[in-house]
Structures are given as C-alpha cells and as structure tokens.
Structure 1
Amino acid sequence: MVNFFIHRPIFASAIAIIMVLAGAIAYFLLPVSQFPDITPPQVVVSAHYPGASAQVVADTVTTPLEQQINGVQGMTYMSSTSSNDGSSTITITFDVGYPLSTAAVDVQNRVSQAASSLPAIVNQGGVTIKKQNPNFVLIVDLTSPDGSVDPVALSNLAYLQVVDPLKRLPGVGDVQIFGERRYSMRVWLDPDKLANLGITAVDVQNAIAEQNV
C-alpha cells in the first residue's frame, strides 16, 4: 500500500487535498454548542477606594461585599484581593453549567444590599459586576520601541484608545490592562493658609472633584 502511493505522487496529493478540504468543511459543521461546559463560570466584582491602603480596602470594602455575596445561589467558592492602589476585586466561581446571566443578576442583588455599608467615595465611583470566562483568549503587548513613550502614557493610551474598541467586539467578555497606571495629582495643603482662608481640606477636595473630568 505504501509503495502504491509512493509511485503515484499526483494521486496521493489529490487524496491529501481532498482530506484537507473535507476536514475544513467539517470544522464549521461541528456541533460545538452541544458540547458540555467544562470551565466554571465566574462573576467578578470590582470597586475602588482612592487613597486607601490594602488593609483599609479589605476592612471597609472587600469584607462587607464578601459578607453579602457569600452563599449566593450556585456559588462554589469565592476569592478576593485588596491592593495598595485602592482596588478591591472579588471573583465568585459558580457550578459548571450554571447560567452566567443568572449568576450576574444574583450577585448584583447582593452587592446592592451591601451599598449602604461601603464608603461614600466607593459608591460614588461605582461597584462593577462583570461576567466572564476565566480563560484568557489573547494577550497583547503594547510597547514603545524607541522608548519615547513612558509606561504611564502607554497605559493611558491603552485605556483611552484600545480597551473600549476591543470590548465592543462580538464575543469579548472583558479586557484587562495588566500593570495599569493612571495619571494622578498629589496636593500638599498648608494648614495656616487654609485657616486664613477659612476653608478645610474637604473644601479643597470638593473643588478638585468638581473640576475633575
């Protein structure tokens, strides 16, 4: 049989091409939607407490949210992280096959119950709930070859110009910036001048917040 194809290369090539075409056609006809889910669905809850340390975020944001979310229907386990940049992230993993939309709604209801326990500035910024698959499909590296753009500018460029267009693509659940950096402003206050002007640190904070776009 081997010698038959060796001595007839044109015939062997034709058979190979037919097999490749048949496989390509069959690929698009596979009943993928009928395959059972093998990865558990996840819902991610994110909040931000500007200026707070990791311990403060854990005590005032992460813990109240966890207490309300814990025990939500279909939940398998829950993990959380609190960072020194003021961010709080809670990942709730559900049973395999549990409807992701239902899970997101249930988590949203639990988060709403915890809103009164959160700091006002956290509620002002909003608590986001995202449903997502735990697997990364694509990772893109954004760099400046000649070093003319610093990492903060690159992160800001990705946030303003790249993230939203990618999120609008069909099938994209979420887009995350690893090592994200944001422009910020640090303000030093002179207590004596504040006293002479008859204003407080809160007044300065509110004035800056009104101008923040």
Structure 2
Amino acid sequence: MNLPNHTALGDRFNISRWALEHPALTRYLMVVLMLMGFAAYFQLGQDEDPPFTFRAMVIQASWPGATAQQIADQVTDKIEKSLQDVSHADKIRSFTKPGESITVFQLKDNVPPKDVPDLWYQVRKKVGEVRPFLPQGVQGPFFNDEYGDVFGSIYALSSDGFSREEVREQADHVRQALLQVKDVAKVEIFGIQPEKLYIEVSQQRLAQLGLDFTQVISQISAQNAVESAGLLNAGSANFQVRVQGQFTSPEALAGVPIRAVNPQTGALHGVLG
C-alpha cells in the first residue's frame, strides 16, 4: 500500500498559509487592489445608446390577386434560391400568404459589423438578378435592413393657429438642424399629413352639361400636364420654352375651363357639388 508523500505536499506553495504568515503585506495588497478596482470602475466605457448591428434583413414582395401557393412557387422560391448564394448566410425563413411574400435573411453572428453593409449590397444584387424572372404584376421586392433602428429622443411639435403645412415646414427645419448635431445619424418625421384637394362633382350638373366624371378628370389632367414645349434657338444661346397653366392654388384649379358636349364651356366650380 502506497502512503501519500507528506513531504511533497508540504513543499507546495500555499497562498492561504502565506497570507496568514504575512498579515501586514496581505492587508496592503488588498487595499491596493480595492483602490485599483475603484479607479477602473470610473474608466469603463459608457454609451447611452451602445451600437448594435442587426444581422437580419426583410425582403418583401406583393402580387395582388395571387394565391398563397402561386406566391410560394413563383416568387418566394426564386427569392430563397438567390439568397442561398450570399456568403455568411445563416438562416432563411419565409412567410407566404395570399398576395404577399416575406423572407427574413439572417447572417451569422460572427460576421464583423463593418462587413454587414457589403453583404446587404450582395443581397440586393442577388435578388435584383431574379427580378426580371418574376411574374408580371409583382410589386417589389422591397428591402428593409433598418427595422432595428431605435430613437434616443422623440420630440413633438404642436401648433395653435398654424396650418398643417406650416407645421410640416417647421418640422423640416428642425430636422435639418438636428442633422447638424454631432453623432446624430438619423432623424425622421412621423405624422405628416400630405396635402390633398378633394373635388366633389354635382351629378345633376354633369348630366345637364352632358359630361361624366372621367371627362372632367381627363380635362383637369391635360391642363396640369408638365410637358416640354421645345427650345428656341437664338444663335449662341438656347432658351427652353415653357407653357404656363399648371395649378398653383385651389383657386386656379377651381377656375380651369371644362368643355361640355352641347357645346358649352364653364369653369370647374360650375360643376362642383
């Protein structure tokens, strides 16, 4: 039977025994380590919004009127096969429903953040190569690689006595100013109300003039068309000829002449409801 070698065990360095035999030096080292840790705590990197790279992209396409099986066979399958050729691909997930195809392309976690933009370019290029082979009527594909963006601050603008267009212009000025601030990467405006003009036509008046609504719209479109009127050659200089008549205000739209069949000519406001 072999007995343990007590002499060999005793010759090993025992840090606990050494600390008990040198209490003054042990306390000194503990104080030094505590001070060093306390100083290092205030030197740690701090970032209110730490950068985080999303390694996923959403590719979306729509085909109005198509069934889920048609979308899967003729759209989603082609997109998936094109994405398989992209380097560093990790997962490809697809969701298909009638009229819509959604594909989520995910990169491997070990891809460096600086290489992600180049890979997104490859994705757009590969999918763009199959776009001519998609069925007629397919809208897209559309790419979204910014859905992981977060906003550090949200500001709201309210108005009293100002129109929505004036508020929009002021919001755009604020956006331009914020983009000049250091470290500001992106500023978006939400809640914009686009300007629209609604034309309500009196059906009784249209019947009196022998018009239908399609004729009214076509005449308005012809009046507001922007087309080239040619060039005027004046020797050493050329001058572009422009035809005036585009709508610049609601009053100008209301005053556009509408020609009836009987024949009569009247302003648009004469057929409004």
Q: Does the alignment reach a TM-score above 0.5?
A: no
Q: Which has the higher relative contact order, 1 or 2, with Cα contacts under 8 A spaced 6 or more apart?
A: 1
Considering fraction of residues, name the structure with more helix: 1
- TM class, shorter-chain normalised? 0.3 to 0.5
Q: Name the TM-score, length of structure 1 as normaliser.
A: 0.44
